Amino acid sequence: MNEWIIIGGGLHGCTIATALIKNHVTTASDLKVIDEHDEPLMEWKSKTSLIGMEFLRSPSVHHIDVDPYSLQRYARKQHFRETFLGQYKRPSLELFNDHCDDVLRSINISQSWIKGKVRKIEKCDNHWELHVDNSKVIKGRKVVIAVSINTQLHMPEWVKELKGNPLNQFHIYDNNLKDLEGIKPPVVIIGNGITAAHLTIKLAKVFPDKVMLMMKSDFKVKDFDSDPGWLGPKYLNDFRKLSCYKKRRNIIKKARNKGTITGELFRQLRKLENSRKIEIRLVTNENQLHFIKKWQKENQEPPSILFATGFNSASPGKEMVADLISNGELALSECGYPIVSSSLEWCPNLYVTGPLAELEIGPISRNIAGARHAAEKIVYKYTH
């Protein structure tokens, strides 16, 4: 019997695993991390490398290790160059990923790793049974669900009416799109946020003056995707006093700087536009279909269309716990998201992190900072 099982080995699952082991709540041999991929962080690494992200948006104290200064120390020790950007010391992706690998080696994650998809979580007398790939059952006393919305791809409604070769139209995070090798110019990138910005910059280098960024509204520049006040008591104290989860949801929606980009990406895009390497078009949602159809007609070569239109925000992973929800063991708010305790327990010995914990952690919940908050809360329960 395992003491702990974490479902999902992304940044969240790995942050929780690291915290549990380094705070001596458990050991690598008593912990299992079950994930669909061969190795930790595969979704994170493939998405960020695909769009050519060079630096993270978050500061250097946000990473998967316990000590906030661990990443800065690692950078010094490894003599990394071009390590941090700007006043918030945002780490390069290369440094961040190297540090993750180093931390995960130090907790011997390979001993805990099980490849597979959890289909169902069943409650037994004093433990949980996880049905993996419909073929095996893995037992554990405590379970953490660390799944994300990152595979719930959002496309605009009008896409259904778009005719043409579907091979030329992709959501950028579609798993069928392994790399950008097959993408043929001209390219139109649709989206307003940071993914669209990174992708435009990357493709402008490959196809200069053959890339168009189509945005539904003008650039909004913000350093972070929510105000740093959400990292601590400034906003969180009042948020957690609210007993109405509908109000909490509304606050989260307002607090997220959706569709915003950092100042340095904004400057790079304007520079590319001024030197005519890219074209930027503002086209409202209602006019996008018409615009694309016209654009398709006018171009002799069939254009490639890349959607950088984000994710559906429906609560993820519910199919695993459908029975527990229907028999009333797991509470849901009106928005369909879990109502959990202050230590992120959805019911005794079943914990959540990431989007599933956002009604407790607040707007930062899906981010790396949210993973750190979640890890602290879960560990606190077993160390105090």
- By C-beta, is 9 or 140 nearer to ligand FAD? 9
Q: Select the residue interacting with ligand FAD from 22, 89, 117, 222 (CB under 6 A).
A: 117
- Whether 220 and 204 have beta carbons less than 8 Å apart is answered as no
Residue 116 or 186 with smaller CB distance to ligand FAD: 116
Pairing mode, if any, of strands 345-347 and 128-132? Answer: unpaired
In the region spanning residues 1 to 40, those forming contacts with ligand FAD, defined by CB under 6 A, are: 7-13, 34-37
The whole-angstrom separation of Cα 22 and Cα 379 is 10
Task: Point out which residues pair with 211 in neighbouring strands.
Answer: 187, 278
Binds ligand FAD (CB under 6 A): choice among 2, 43, 346, 377? 43
Binding span for ligand FAD by CB under 6 A among 77-85, 141-149, 207-215, 322-330:
141-149
Contact present, 180 and 204 (Cβ < 8 Å):
no
Closest to ligand FAD by CB, 35 vs 303, is: 35
Rule CB under 6 A: is residue 354 a binding residue for ligand FAD? yes
Q: Is 62 in the site for ligand FAD (CB under 6 A)?
A: yes
Q: Are 119 and 133 in contact (CB under 8 A)?
A: yes
Task: State the DSSP H helix or E strand holding residue 128, giving kind and residue range, or none if neither.
Answer: strand 128-132
Using CB positions, name the residue nearest to ligand FAD: 10
Cβ-based nearer residue to ligand FAD, 20 or 34: 34
Q: Is 310 in the site for ligand FAD (CB under 6 A)?
A: no
Residue 108 CA to residue 131 CA, distance in Å, equals: 24
CB of 301 to ligand FAD, least distance (A): 28
What is the DSSP annotation of 294-363?
HHHHH-SSPPEEEE---B--SPTTGGGGHHHHHTT-S-B-TTSPBP--TT-EEETTEEE-GGGGHHHH-T
Binding site for ligand FAD (CB under 6 A): 7-13, 34-37, 42-44, 47-48, 51, 53, 56-58, 62, 117-118, 146-148, 150, 195, 317, 320, 354, 366-369
